[in-house]
Amino acid sequence: MQKFNGMQDFDFTTRLGDLILKNPVITSSGTYGFGEEYTDYCSPAYLGAITVKGITPLPRLGNPVPRLAETPSGLLNSVGLENPGLEDFLRSYLPKLSNLHTAVIVNISGFSLEDYALLASALQDYASPNNSTNITSNSSGIAALEVNISCPNIKHGGMAFGTNPKNAEEVIAVVRKNTNLPIIAKLSPNVTDIAEMAKAVESGGADIISLINTLLGMSIDIQTQKPILANKMGGLSGPAVRPVAVRMVYQVYQAVPLPIIGMGGLTTWQDAVEFMLAGASAVSVGTANFLNPLAPLEILSGLEEYCTQRGYNSIRKLVGLAHRTC
């Protein structure tokens, strides 16, 4: 297993409002299972946080196969929120997550406001003792909720909440009412005005914004003349979407004062630097884990080297530098 030995005097501490992480590298929901899958390759203990697979109130089988289609520098998926459901998550998965020695972000998805309310209040009981002055890492329990209002792979709900500002605000407000945990609103890129969406979730009571979720896409097999995915459409991720993600992080940074978790095609440390310069306080690694399970560790080392070479003693100095006017 690969190790990460950071330098002693470099300050990796990452502040996302009240959520304080040991470093800014997170893994994205749906790409990191429940954390256990990667332990042979990369210890989650080196990561700032892991975000688990999206949870719904009831178990879901997800979509039929094929669920994957490769595109140039990209990947279309239509997993369709397959997950064990809230009850089994709490019983079979959450206890093991506490042994991974990293902050655990639970991604929640629903089909109605009631679903989101139910998930938020149930998970509140498992909140990690967070006093907003210490790094969340070794403590057991949930560090934050990431609210998925933007899944493109389910027919009802999901993206419908994430593409209409009023609905997005409502969902976040319902979650806010039912939890004291830091709320991360995960935004969909499938909108005309991302700044408007950011303002909406801010009004709803979000503490942090993560973006982007996948871009709705499609791929057709020219031999069979049919869509490759059983679900026909799916979410595009991978390096192909990165410029869209960087642009949206840049716009959201200007639109709202909330801390940002940048993601979308982030594959190398250079990509991580780019997202942070655009305004992300933390970055999340998704599809890159599939290519290279060591990607999060390589990104950490690269970030540290980039900063120290430029005389920054803290990772926080990088955030938003691309917005300087001179």
Nearest to residue 106, comparing CAs of 6, 30, 209?
A: 30
Nearest to residue 185, comparing CAs of 155, 230, 146?
A: 146
Question: Per CB under 8 A, does 302 bind other proteins?
Answer: no
Question: Per CB under 8 A, does 62 bind other proteins?
Answer: yes
Question: Per CB under 8 A, does 68 bind other proteins?
Answer: yes
Instruction: Say whether 42 is catalytic.
Output: no
Please report, as residue ranges, which positions from 71 to 110 form the binding site for other proteins (by CB under 8 A): 71-75, 77, 79, 82
Question: Per CB under 8 A, does 233 bind other proteins?
Answer: no
Q: Which of 61, 224, 257, 326 binds other proteins (CB under 8 A)?
A: 61
Q: Closest approach of Cβ 73 to other proteins, in Å?
A: 4
Q: Closest approach of Cβ 55 to other proteins, in Å?
A: 13
Identity of the residue, 81 or 260, whose beta carbon is nearer to other proteins in the bound complex = 81
Question: Per CB under 8 A, does 70 bind other proteins?
Answer: yes
Identity of the residue, 83 or 190, whose beta carbon is nearer to other proteins in the bound complex = 83
Tokens 């942070």 appear where?
Answer: 276
**C-alpha to C-alpha distances, 39 to 12, 267, 291, nearest whole angstrom:** 22, 19, 16
Question: Per CB under 8 A, does 239 bind other proteins?
Answer: yes
Looking at the DSSP bridge assignments, the partners of residue 25 are: 283
Nearest to residue 22, comparing CAs of 41, 52, 38, 43?
A: 43
The region of 9-17, 128-136, 282-290, 299-307 touching other proteins under the rule CB under 8 A is 282-290
Three-state SS across 41-87?
CECHHHCCEEEEEEECCCCECCCCCCCEEEECCEEEECCCCCECHHH
Q: Which of 4, 38, 46, 250 binds other proteins (CB under 8 A)?
A: 38
Handedness of CA 217, 221, 226, 228 (dihedral sign): negative
Q: Say how far apart CA 100 and CA 106 lie, in whole Å.
A: 14
By the criterion CB under 8 A, which residues form the site for other proteins?
A: 2, 30-33, 37-38, 40-41, 53, 61-62, 64-75, 77, 79, 82, 238-240, 267, 287, 289-294
User: Any idea which residues carry the catalytic annotation?
Assistant: 151
